[in-house]
Structure 1
Amino acid sequence: MAIRYSVVIPTYNRAQQLLLTLASFETQTYSKHLFEVIVADDGSTDGTKEMVEGFKASYPLIYVSHPEQRGRSAVRNLGLRRAKGLYIIFCDADFLVLPDFIRIVSRYHRKYPKAVLSGFPHSWDDAYTHYYPDFSPAEKEHFRNTLTQSNLWSADFEAANEIIPLITPEDILHQTDALSKVMIPSRVPPNVKKQFAKTDVAPWTLLVTRCVSIRRSHLARIGGFNERFVLYGLEDWDLGYRLHRLKIPFYCIKEVVGYHQEHPTHLRGNVLNMENLKIMFETYGFNDSSLNLFALVHPSLDLETYKNTLRVLRRGSRSKQTRSSALLLRRTLRMAAKQFVQPNHTHAYKKSLRWIKKNAEGRKSRVAHVLRDMVLKSEKLVE
C-alpha cells in the first residue's frame, strides 16, 4: 500500500534528542508500512548523519541533508521534496511521540480530511530526557527541583561537562516508567492553552511545527515554507497564514500525543524575531489587522490580549454604533505596523495618533476602550 503519512523531522545538532524521537516512532501502533520518517539535516556537525544511518528502523527511514546550514524553512522544504505521503507531519527532533500518535492523527484526518491538524496546545508539556551543562542557572535549578521530587537528583550533574542522558532508547522501546519520572508540570497557563485551541480568530496560530499535520497537496499549492525565514521565529505562522488565506480549516488534536524534550532555551533562538516579522509585513502588506496587531501585541507574549483584541474589532465592525471606533482601531493598527517596518515620518505618525486619541475621547464602548489602549501602545513605538 502507498505511504499515507510522511513525517518530516528537521534537525541541526540534536543527535541525542533525535535518537529518542526516532525510537518513539518504533512504538507506533499505526501500520509501519503506511508511514515514513524523513530526517532533514541542516548541516549538523555532531554525528547526526552517522546516528541516523546506523539506526535500525522497522519503518521507512530516509536521511537528507544540506552540506551547510541554510535555515529552518529551507531544511523543512528539503524534507518535503522527498515526501511521498498524502499528508505531511512536521515533527521536531526533540518531540517524543507517544505510541498512538499517528493513529490519532489518522483518526482526525478521517473526520477532517482537508484540515490542518495541530498537536498544540494539548501536547505542550516537557520532559527532561537529558541534562545539559549549558542550562542557565534558572534552568539548572528547575531541573534539580524536578529530579529531586523523583529521587533522581545527583550532585554529579553539577560537575558534568557533557550532556547526560536520563532516558534511553530502550526506555522508549520497552515503554518503561522512566519517562514519567522526568515529566515537567506544565508551565503554560490554562488561559493560554484555552486561547490556542480556539479558532474563531487567527486560527493559523495553531500551526506550530513541533507537531502538525497538513495535506501535501496544500503545501505544494503554496510552495512550502518561505525560505526568507532563516532564523527562528514566525516561519510556521507564516505558513499557517498562507494556508488560512486558502480557507483551509484548522483543528487541534485534543489528546496528548507527545512530549517536548527540554533543552537550554538558547538553542531555541529568539522567539520575538523582529526581522522575520518585517518579512511578513513586506510580503503581505498592511491590510490585515490580525497581522498588523503583531507590531503592538505579539501572540507569543500575550495570546489572550491578541485574540481578544481581534474579537472586539470584529464585533465592533458589525455594529453601526461602534463601526467608527472599529475603523479607527483598524487605522491605528495599520499605522503601527507601518511605523514598525519603516520608523520614518515620526512627526506625522505622532500627529495622527493624537487625532485618533482625541476622536476616541468620551466613547464608552468596548471597542473604544481597546482603541485607546492600542493608541497608548502605538505611542511607545516612538518613545
Structure 2
Amino acid sequence: MKASIIIPSYNAKERLYLNLTALNCQSYDGDDVEVVVIDNGSTDNTIEMLKCFELKYPMKIIRIEKNRGIAYGRNEGILSAEGEILIFHDSDMIASKDYLKQHIDAHIKPNQVVCGLFWRRIFTYYYKNFTYDQVANFEKIREKFGLHRLSLYWDAYPLIEEESIKDEDLWEYSFDLDFGFINDLKEIVKQFGRNFTDYYLPWRFFITNNVSVEKQKVMDVGMFDTNIVRYGYEDYDLGVRLYKSGCNFVMADYILSLHQEHPANYRSDDLIVNINFMCDKYNNIYFIDVPLVCMSDNLGLDRDSLNGIVKDIYQLIPNNEYHDILQIFLDVLQVIRKRLFSPLEDNGKPVFLSFINKLDYYIKKILIIEEKEGVNYFIKELSALLKQAFDIDFERLLKANRKEKGGSYE
C-alpha cells in the first residue's frame, strides 16, 4: 500500500461528509491508497454516515467509544494504516483535486516531511456559536458574494453545494487566515524558501491538517503523545521529534486544502497547559528550541532573533565544554516560564544562587565562547533572560570584563 490518509473526527459529520466528497474527486486513480477514518467518540451519528458513504478508495472505519484526545485517535489510525506514507488530513478539510497525487509525488526522496498549505479557510456551514472574529470574517465573505443576512441562517446552515466541490468553484470563496502566527510562518517561507535553507525550526510547520510523512519514521519516534489532550501542540510535539531524528522538512505550499470554519473547540487555558507540558517534557539542552519557541512571544523575540539563537545553540551543542552554559540558559528560561504560567512551581531562588556563586566563572566562560564561536544571538538572549529573571545586568558585566582583560580569555 502506497499511502494512508488519516482522518480523525469528533462531532463533525457534515464537514467530514464534504471532506470525503472532495476525496472522491481526486485525480489520483491508483489502487494503492486507503482512507482511515477514526470516529473519536462522536455523538452526532457520524458512524452511520460513514457506513453509507461510497468512497472511491478503500475506507477503514475505526470507532472509539470515548474521546480520549486527538493524539490517541490519530495513533489508532496510524496503527491500522497499511500505507508506506501517512497523509494527515483532518475532518474539517477539503482537498484540492491533485492533493493526494501531489503528496505522494513529493515523497520521491526518502526521509521527507511534506508540509502542505494549511492556512486557507472557507465557510461551508454557518454556526450560531461562531466567535466574534469568525462572524466578522463571514460578514466580509457574505458581502463579497451576496449571501443572505445572518438573521436568515439556522445553526449548521449549509453555504455551499456539493457540486462546487466537484467543480472547485468553492476556492473563490476561500480566504487566508489573518493571524500573527500564520503571517509569521508565511514570511519565513518567503525568507528561507520551501526547503527551509538555514532555518532551524521547520517543525513549526508540522500542522496535521495537511502534512505527510513515512509511517516508519512516525513509528520510530513513538507516534503522537497521548498525554497531550488539550487543543493543539500534539502536532508540534511529533514534528519536533521527527526533525530531531533527522527528517528533512519541505514546504509544499502548492498542495492545497481548505479548512472549514467551525465553532472553537478549545478552552481558555489550553495554551498555558500545553506550554507547561511541552516545557517540562523538553527540559533538556538538546531541546532548548522547544521551550524557546513556546516562550518566544513572552520574550519579545522576532523570527530572525529566534532563528539566530537556535542556530547558535546548534553550534554550541557538539562541544561538551559548553553544556553548562547551555544548561544555565535553559534553567533561567524555565524560571521565567514558571513565573508566568506556573507560579506555584517558581524555582528562581536555587537557580539564582547557583548562578551568582559561579558568576566569575560564567563571565569568563561566556567571553571565551564569544571569542571562539561568536554566537552573538545566544549571548545577547542569555543576558536578556538574566535581566528579566533576576535583574542581573550581565551585558554590562561582560563589557567591563572585556575592557579589563584586553582581549584574550584562554
TM-score by length of 1: 0.83
Which residue, out of 59, 62, 68, partners 2:60? 62
Task: Report 1:122-271 matches (<5 A).
Answer: 122-152=117-147, 154-155=148-149, 157-158=150-151, 160-173=153-166, 175-177=167-169, 179-188=170-179, 190-195=183-188, 198=196, 200-264=199-263, 266-268=264-266
The one-letter code matched in structure 1 to 2:350 is A
Deviating more after overlay: 223-232 vs 100-109: 223-232
The one-letter code matched in structure 1 to 2:330 is L
The one-letter code matched in structure 2 to 1:255 is Y
Aligned equivalent of 1:286: 284
Shift in Å, 1:138? 3.0
CA distance in 2, matches of 1:269, 1:28: 35
What secondary structure is seen at the aligned counterpart in 2 of 1:267?
coil
What secondary structure is seen at the aligned counterpart in 2 of 1:273?
helix
CA distance in 2, matches of 1:186, 1:262: 10
The one-letter code matched in structure 1 to 2:206 is L
CA distance in 1, matches of 2:206, 2:267: 18
Shift in Å, 1:10? 0.6
The one-letter code matched in structure 1 to 2:310 is L
Shift in Å, 1:77? 0.9
What secondary structure is seen at the aligned counterpart in 1 of 2:165?
helix
Structure with greater Cα Rg:
2
Distance 1:249 1:256, change over 3 A: closer
Which residue, out of 94, 97, 108, partners 1:96? 94
Shift in Å, 1:40? 0.6
CA distance in 2, matches of 1:353, 1:344: 16
Shift in Å, 1:221? 2.1
Count of matched residue pairs: 365
Shift in Å, 1:123? 3.6
Distance 1:379 1:253, change over 3 A: farther
Counterpart check, 1:370 vs 2:372: no
Residue pair 2:96, 2:168 contacting (<8 A) in 1 also: no
Residue pair 1:130, 1:166 contacting (<8 A) in 2 also: yes
Counterpart check, 1:343 vs 2:345: yes
Distance 1:302 1:353, change over 3 A: same
Residue pair 1:195, 1:303 contacting (<8 A) in 2 also: no
Counterpart check, 1:334 vs 2:331: yes
Residue pair 1:332, 1:378 contacting (<8 A) in 2 also: no
What secondary structure is seen at the aligned counterpart in 2 of 1:39?
strand
The one-letter code matched in structure 1 to 2:79 is R
Deviations 1:257-288 (A, max 9, x none): 21111223x22556963333444444443223
CA distance in 2, matches of 1:293, 1:186: 25
The one-letter code matched in structure 2 to 1:207 is F
The one-letter code matched in structure 2 to 1:369 is K
CA distance in 2, matches of 1:57, 1:258: 18
The one-letter code matched in structure 1 to 2:88 is F
Shift in Å, 1:103? 1.0
Deviations 1:182-213 (A, max 9, x none): 21244256543132653631232222111111
The one-letter code matched in structure 2 to 1:227 is T
Distance 1:219 1:137, change over 3 A: closer
Deviating more after overlay: 364-373 vs 253-262: 364-373
Shift in Å, 1:317? 7.9
Residue pair 1:232, 1:271 contacting (<8 A) in 2 also: no
What secondary structure is seen at the aligned counterpart in 1 of 2:5?
strand
Aligned equivalent of 2:400: none
Residue pair 2:71, 2:226 contacting (<8 A) in 1 also: yes
Identity across matched positions, percent: 24
CA distance in 1, matches of 2:225, 2:246: 19
What secondary structure is seen at the aligned counterpart in 2 of 1:134?
coil
CA distance in 2, matches of 1:181, 1:377: 48
Residue pair 1:8, 1:76 contacting (<8 A) in 2 also: yes
Distance 1:47 1:19, change over 3 A: same
Aligned equivalent of 1:20: 18
CA distance in 2, matches of 1:39, 1:22: 10
Deviations 1:57-104 (A, max 9, x none): 121122111111111111001111211111111111111110001111
The one-letter code matched in structure 1 to 2:246 is K
RMSD: 3.4
Shift in Å, 1:225? 1.3
Distance 1:146 1:64, change over 3 A: same
Aligned equivalent of 1:42: 40
Residue pair 2:332, 2:386 contacting (<8 A) in 1 also: no
Aligned equivalent of 2:28: 30
The one-letter code matched in structure 1 to 2:114 is L
Deviating more after overlay: 335-344 vs 37-46: 335-344
What secondary structure is seen at the aligned counterpart in 2 of 1:171?
helix
The one-letter code matched in structure 1 to 2:380 is H
Shift in Å, 1:8? 0.5
TM-score by length of 2: 0.78
Shift in Å, 1:234? 1.6
